[in-house]
Amino acid sequence: MDRNSKYFLSFVGLVIVLLVGYKFKQFIIDKDFTLVANIPCDPATESCFRQDCETTCAEGDIECTECDTESGIVNADGSPYKKIELPYAKAPNCLIEENCTPDEASQICVAGDETCIITTCEPYVDEANPGNVEDGEVCAEAPKMEDGVITTIP
Establish if 79 belongs to a structural domain.
yes
Q: What is the pLDDT of residue 8?
A: 94
Establish if 153 belongs to a structural domain.
no
- pLDDT confidence bin for 61, thresholds 50/70/90: low
Based on the structure, what is the number of domains in the chain? 1
**pTM attached to this predicted model:** 0.65
Residues 50-78 as b or e (16 or more Cβ within 10 Å = b): bbbbeebbeeeeeeeeebeeeebbbeeeb
Establish if 134 belongs to a structural domain.
yes
Establish if 152 belongs to a structural domain.
no
Establish if 104 belongs to a structural domain.
yes
- pLDDT confidence bin for 76, thresholds 50/70/90: very low
Could you tell me the residue range of the domain that residue 100 belongs to?
30-142
Q: Pick the residue with more confidence: 22 or 63? A: 22
